[in-house]
Amino acid sequence: MITDRVSYEQLLGISGCLGLALLAHVTALPLWVLAIVVVCGVIRLLLARRGSGAPPRGILIALAALAMPLLFLRFHTFNGLAAGTALLSVTAGLKLLETKTQRDIYIITLIIYFVSLAALLEGDSFWLLGYLIGVCWLTTATLLRATSSGSAHGWQRSLRYGGRVLAQALPLTLVLWLLFPRLASPLWQIPSDSRTAASGLSDTMSPGDITQLALSDEVAFRVRFDTGVPPASDRYWRGPVLDTFDGHTWTRGTSGTGGAPPPQEPQGPAYHYTVMMEPHQHRWIFMLDWPSTWDQPRAELSNDYTLMQRDPLSRPIDVVGTSYTRVQYSEPLKPGTRRRDLRQPADRNPRTQQLAQEMRGAHPDDMDLVSAVLGMFHQQPFYYTLTPPKLADNSVDEFLFDTKRGFCGHYASAFAALMRAAGIPARVVTGYHGGMLNPYGDYWILRQSDAHAWTEIWIEGRGWVRVDPTAAIAPERVEKGLSNAAGADDSLASRWQRKTPWFAGARLRLDLLREMWRERILDFNQDSQRKLLEFLKIPEPDGQKLVLVMGTAMALVLVWLTWQVHRELAPPSKDVAGRTYARLCAKLAAAGVARKPHEGAEAYAIRVAHERPDLAKTVTALCRHYSALRYATPSRSITLGQFQASVRAFRPKRAMRTL
């Protein structure tokens, strides 16, 4: 008697596929949602193992009545990506608990496909795409096993057939991806939780803050230069400018507000480049010092020359810009700005203020004073380390006179404090320095370990001048733990690359793959479709022509799919044994012994043995095997597969002619 009821094996397979699909949401869904699905699946599998059916409907209604209000309290809606995914997940768990027939398996399968699509919209990793394709492949194979008539197909056959189904759907997928009309922005623009973005630099800096970033290998942004690449001494990527100092912590105060930036006069070459920013929780965009042009309409330059977007960078963006690494200011410093950039608490760091006054008396010229302070860092036993001692409220005093150990933030803070105490306006700039060249993609990678802090001082007649006091530290005074550093201004990423070149090369290739994925897939938008139509030589491409091209391509793909389905459903013109025997006859004909139309297999073998005694034994055996497989009852002497292998291995040579 044929039954439509599901078996334990079918439930186990579809439950495993559902679990794999939900695994992609493990960091996004509430834990109690996943717990409901797991409990429902375990209960249903235990009941099926004992031969029992689904639990009473009252239990299902009670669970649904409990889950729906919890979902609404958590998300305040049932719409949207996050709330919809949670609702689908709970529905899948409840449906699994009540599964009785094949129709229930079909519904759960559809939910798995939708949950997988939701995970793809939430994430932007090509690894995630590969994982979800694998989940859909396994789900399709499980569905084929569950719906096969008679005994279930083996996993190998089901996976092979499921893979063929997915491969046949690929052309239609490509047509829809490339030609379905897009909005001006990419598809991956669904708002995400800002907590998922990397934080990176903030608008405050205390001793040790950047030290923690230096231990991170996460990518902050990538840069591709259109023209020449500036030297390492000029590759400073400008971020938050900190102008307020309380003796311990530097804070971004009013330097970023208050009108347009003061005019500058370029003093060197212009560098054209594209910054490919990774998301973070702040509004600034890291541009090469000093930016002059950019292509983001929602970004503007603050009066301290930091490029700021209106909203936090919750999604990756590309910014095409131009910068001059050497500039000069044409206007004097405003009195209010001068007062702000000289201000520091009178009751903090008294030894630093006394040192600044003494050095100022010995060096009345501003640049001479700068050289003297940098010489102090170079000549005295100051050390560059990732594990500096903790500092109290008078952090600059303790660093300059007691510990003499610190990271870039310690040196930038101490230098700026000395300059202010000596009467020179100063501020701390945070950002990134250097970078690692990816030779496989011809772009630079700036990681969190490249985070850096330096100082800007105001020199009359020149304007703001960048001074990096960390670069004054002698290379031999870089403490152990920084992995064979060549100098204090050398990034941790580049040191790590020199230490493990083979693994670093593999990572650079992988990073290139990620960047291609972002450029070709994630950022594919309306402008990309227009360029595609131009590549196809379509004159004056517009939306109407895009729809026509898409319709034509879909029609061609559907015709091809129809032919594929017809070929699979149509009965084969010959059986396998007959096709294999025809291949044997073709090989013998090429050797000079063609089969005559009236000859059967046995008669043909006799004639071949008479004309080609060297082939007699092999051909006679193969013809007898064919007759047995085609006309007699199944024999254990040889199988169809063995017969096919023997014919493939048979390679007769043409007989030599005799004179």
Top-confidence range, 192-206, 382-396, 615-629: 615-629
Alpha-helical segments (H) within 223-365: 335-340, 350-362
Cα angle value 418/419/422 (rounded, 5°) = 85
Q: Is 452 among the residues known to form the active site?
A: yes
Considering its fold, how many domains does the chain have in total? Answer: 4
pLDDT in the model for residue 75? 86
pLDDT in the model for residue 194? 39
Question: How many whole angstroms separate alpha carbon 153 and alpha carbon 175?
Answer: 32
The answer to whether position 72 is within a domain reads: yes
The answer to whether position 235 is within a domain reads: yes
Specify burial of residue 313 (Cβ count, 10 A radius: 0-12, 13-18, 19+): buried
pLDDT in the model for residue 550? 87
Mean pLDDT of the chain: 83
577 token code pair: 């044994």
DSSP state string for 447-496: EGGGEEEEEEEEETTTEEEEE-GGGGS-GGGBPTTS-S-S-TTS-HHHHH
The answer to whether position 162 is within a domain reads: no
91-108 confidence digits (pLDDT tens): 999 998 888 888 889 999
pLDDT at 635 over 70: no
Three-state DSSP class for residue 251: strand
Question: How many whole angstroms separate alpha carbon 404 and alpha carbon 244?
Answer: 23
pLDDT at 198 over 50: no
pLDDT in the model for residue 152? 55
The answer to whether position 171 is within a domain reads: no
φ, ψ (nearest 5 deg) of residue 324: -115, 120
420 and 457 part of one domain: yes
pLDDT in the model for residue 222? 92
The answer to whether position 522 is within a domain reads: no
267 and 356 part of one domain: yes
394-447 confidence digits (pLDDT tens): 889 999 999 888 888 889 999 999 999 999 999 999 999 888 888 888 899 998
243 φ/ψ sector (left φ>0, alpha ψ -120 to 50, else beta): alpha
124-161 confidence digits (pLDDT tens): 778 888 899 999 999 999 888 877 655 556 788 888 88
pLDDT in the model for residue 503? 73
Question: How many whole angstroms separate alpha carbon 152 and alpha carbon 145?
Answer: 5
pLDDT in the model for residue 608? 92
557-598 confidence digits (pLDDT tens): 899 888 888 877 766 555 788 888 999 999 999 998 999 988
Q: Is 614 among the residues known to form the active site?
A: no
pLDDT in the model for residue 257? 57
pLDDT in the model for residue 571? 62
405 and 263 part of one domain: yes
Q: In what order do the strands lie in the sheet with 244-245?
A: 204-205, 250-251, 244-245
* Alpha-carbon distances of 378 from 371, 383, 453, rounded to whole Å: 10, 9, 18
pLDDT in the model for residue 186? 52
Q: Report the CATH number that the domain containing residue 479 is assigned in CATH.
A: 3.10.620.30
540 φ/ψ sector (left φ>0, alpha ψ -120 to 50, else beta): left
Residue carrying structure tokens 């230069």 = 225
593 and 553 part of one domain: no
pLDDT at 59 over 50: yes
Least confident interval from 238-252, 284-298, 469-483: 469-483
Are 366 and 460 within 8 A, CB to CB?
yes
Checking DSSP bridges between strand 383-384 and strand 405-406, what pairing results, if any?
parallel
444-464 confidence digits (pLDDT tens): 999 888 888 899 999 988 889
pLDDT at 355 over 90: yes
Question: How many whole angstroms separate alpha carbon 519 and alpha carbon 538?
Answer: 23
DSSP state string for 524-574: --HHHHHHHHHHTT-SS--HHHHHHHHHHHHHHHHHHHHHHHHHHHSPPSS
Question: Regarding predicted confidence, which is higher, 153 or 77?
Answer: 77
Q: Please identify which of the residues 17, 408, 585, 623 carries the catalytic annotation.
A: 408
581 and 541 part of one domain: no
How confident is residue 484, by pLDDT bands cut at 50, 70 and 90?
very low
DSSP state string for 138-206: HHHHHHHHHH-SSSPPPHHHHHHHHHHHHHHHHHHHHHHHHHS---SS-S--S---GGGSB--S-SEE-
Range of the domain at 475: 204-501
pLDDT at 538 over 60: yes
Checking DSSP bridges between strand 219-225 and strand 405-406, what pairing results, if any?
unpaired
404 and 459 part of one domain: yes
pLDDT in the model for residue 209? 61
Cut 0.95: pTM above it: no
145 and 232 part of one domain: no
The answer to whether position 644 is within a domain reads: yes
- Tell me the average pLDDT across 32-46: 90
Three-state DSSP class for residue 321: strand
366 and 476 part of one domain: yes
244-296 confidence digits (pLDDT tens): 888 888 888 765 555 678 888 888 889 999 999 888 888 889 999 889 989 88
The dihedral of CA 255, 256, 257, 262: what is its sign? positive
426 and 282 part of one domain: yes
559 and 460 part of one domain: no
Are 337 and 293 within 8 A, CB to CB?
no
Query: Where is the domain boundary, 569, 592, 616?
Result: 569
The answer to whether position 524 is within a domain reads: no
Question: How many whole angstroms separate alpha carbon 548 and alpha carbon 490?
Answer: 55
Q: Please identify which of the residues 124, 243, 468, 489 carries the catalytic annotation.
A: 468
Contacts of 504 (CB under 8 A, 6+ apart): 496, 497
The answer to whether position 514 is within a domain reads: no
pLDDT at 26 over 60: yes
537 φ/ψ sector (left φ>0, alpha ψ -120 to 50, else beta): left
How confident is residue 498, by pLDDT bands cut at 50, 70 and 90?
low
| Bridge partners, 443 (sequence order) | 438
Three-state DSSP class for residue 126: helix
370 and 428 part of one domain: yes
Q: Please identify which of the residues 25, 280, 433, 452 carries the catalytic annotation.
A: 452
550 and 581 part of one domain: no
